[in-house]
Amino acid sequence: AQSATQLGSHVSVSEGALVLLRCNYSSSVPPYLFWYVQYPNQGLQLLLKYTSAATLVKGINGFEAEFKKSETSFHLTKPSAHMSDAAEYFCAVRPSGGYNKLIFGAGTRLAVHP
């Protein structure tokens, strides 16, 4: 069965520091992978997606993620955190083929302090 596992339910960084949010996936076939962000009382917004093209994916707001098949990982990074990055981040996997439901990880809450 396909799954997305996020390591660390809470991550705290200083403003200007590197952001690293970890996601490992499980899939028997090459998956599509996504990162979404959720601000309080809002829906999910797509940050970036991997669809078997380039392994380094650039998204919005300065975020990027690298697909590593050997590690079954799709970690999200941003070189310099901003206060406005504080939110909940979700990794999701969608197996290629079949219908398009997303399977989400449990989420990582990012806190950014001055």
List residues near other proteins by CB under 8 A: 4, 9, 32, 36, 41-46, 49, 51, 90, 92, 94, 99-107
Task: Dig out the tokens for 4 from the structure.
Answer: 């997305």
Smaller CB separation from other proteins, 5 or 17? 5
Q: Which is nearer to other proteins, 25 or 36 (CB)?
A: 36
Nearer to other proteins, 51 or 77 (CB): 51
* Residue 46 near residue 38 (C-beta atoms within 8 A): no
Least Å distance, CB 114 to other proteins, is 26
**CA–CA gap between residue 106 and residue 114 (Å, rounded):** 26
Pairing of strands 87-95, 73-78: unpaired
